[in-house]
Amino acid sequence: MIILHKYLLRIFVLVLLISNGCSQSIHEELPPLYPCSITVTQEGKPFDGVNVSLIRQDGDTTWVVCGITNSSGVAKIQTQMRYSGAPEGKYKVRISKIVTEGQPKLVSSGDAEQPLSIGDIPSYFVIDPKYDNVKTTPFEIFVTNGKNKQSFDVGQSIKQPVSDQ
């Protein structure tokens, strides 16, 4: 349940960043950004809808650097979710995808029905969770002024309940 709350918090922060960033101009302190793309495959096939996050190895967490794969399995990396590219540096690559099944249980509350809790929706990792942990992911990329394309295969498909973490 704690892991689910952790993911929900990430989603909330992501939405907050998107909504706050749509009308702002380029941040004055933004470092130079270099085009970067990550291709994710599972069992050798392109994997759509995968979250890809780059975490700097030097510990600098100033910039959010991430992307989501398209139907070709390619994530075009963005900084602060709106600027194309990534700052120069060595990164650990976190890769994750969670799917949900079914609908939340509804409880009657006066005149309306509302979800009992988001935790009542079955959620599953479909990629080994080790790839979503900066300490256990083997994936790395060094972004520089040059060609920044990398491919990673996340192995077999799994269906591991999020609550098992």
Asked if residue 78 belongs to a domain, the reply is: yes
Nearest alpha-carbon partner for 80 in 140, 34, 27: 27
DSSP state of 4: H
Supply 130's token pair. Answer: 């080790």
CATH of the domain at 63: 2.60.40
pTM of the full predicted structure?
A: 0.75
**How far is it, in rounded angstroms, from Cα 151 to Cα 141?**
10
Residue 6, domain member (yes or no)? yes
Q: 122 in a domain, yes or no? A: no
Tell me, yes or no, whether 56 lies in a domain.
Answer: yes
Residue 9 lies in a domain: yes
DSSP one-letter code for 85: S
Total tally of structural domains belonging to the chain: 1
Domain assignment present for residue 119? The answer is no
For residue 16, the enclosing domain spans 2-96+131-157
77-102 per-position pLDDT tens digit: 999 999 999 999 999 999 999 998 87
Q: Is residue 124 part of a domain?
A: no
The residue behind tokens 């909330």 is: 12
What percent of the chain shows pLDDT beyond 70? 72
Residue at 73 is within a domain: yes
Q: What is the pLDDT along the chain (165 residues), one digit of tens a residue?
A: 455 445 544 555 455 444 444 434 556 689 999 999 999 999 999 999 999 999 999 988 999 999 999 999 999 999 999 999 999 999 999 999 999 887 766 666 666 655 555 556 788 999 999 999 999 999 999 999 988 999 999 999 999 998 765
